[in-house]
Every structure is written in C-alpha cells, then in structure tokens.
Amino acid sequence: MGINKDRKNTPILEYTILAGIIIVFLIFVFQLRTGDINLSRAIFKDLTGGRYGVQKYIDWEHFQGLEVNVGATYAKFSTEKEKTGYKKAFIQSFSRGFKGAGGKFQSFINWRIASKENNQVIVAADYHGRSKTLLFTLSSAGKKKLTSLQWKK
C-alpha cells in the first residue's frame, strides 16, 4: 500500500519540477530580450541626470554621440586625469543640454530592440510628441557598452 501512494505522488512532483524549469526558462528568455532595453534605458536616464557613474557603460574610445565623434576627441587625451575630466564634462554637458532643450526622460516611450547584428544590438525609443526615434547601439562582445547614441534618420 505504501508503494502505491509513492506512485501517485511521483507525477505531481515531476509536473511541479517541469513547471519550475519552464518558468525559469521563460524568465531567462524574457531577461535576454529586455536586458538590452533595460541597460539602454538606465544609461540614458543616468546621462540625462548627469550621473558620472554611467561612464563605465560607455565605450569612450569608439563612442559616437549625436553626430559627434566623441571617441576621436577622447583619444586626444593622454593622461587618466584628462580622460576623467573629459568624461565628467561630457556627461554634465549632455545633461544640461538635454534639460535646457526641455527634454524629459519620461517622454521616451516604446523602448524596443530595433536590430541585432554581429557584435551589436540596437535599441530604439520614440520621443513622444516629437516624431523622432533615438537609437542606442550596444556592443555585444564582452561587457555590453554604449557605442553610439543617434537620432534615426
């Protein structure tokens, strides 16, 4: 009689384990899809807020920022002190310019993956009320970093 009880409970345990595995898999897939979007959103929020900590998520050597080759300017600095000063000035200027133009982080909506190619992911966000789309290019080789921030043409 004890053996029959174990057999009746086994399928329930198996189904519970299977359901748990499926849930973990779905969470993992959802994270893969939203991870790039969340990273882009966080970088942009920190840039518009003038938070220096965002500098670690930017590929300064290759960064293209709104039609400016930031990487070329950054490469001209030879000391870490100069490079740090440039990063701080860029982030502060970006924040002041964004706010001075009346920009609001909350105005960017419909965040989505625009494309995934080779070693990069492009995330798009629409600027509500302005009929514009901002594109965030993330390198996907190694630690993800922002390599470009451009208006869609």
Work out how many domains the chain is built from and give that number: 1
Please say if the pLDDT value at position 149 is more than 80. Answer: yes
Which tokens is 31 given? 């994270």
CA dist 85 to 58, 82, 134, Å? 15, 5, 26
List, for residues 88-128, the tens digit of each pLDDT value: 999 999 999 999 999 899 999 999 999 998 889 999 999 98
d(CA 120, CA 100): 31
CATH number at residue 33: 3.10.450
Which tokens is 74 given? 């950054």
Question: Which residue segment(s) compose the domain that 17 sits in?
Answer: 2-151
List, for residues 17-59, the tens digit of each pLDDT value: 766 676 666 565 555 556 899 999 999 999 999 999 999 999 9
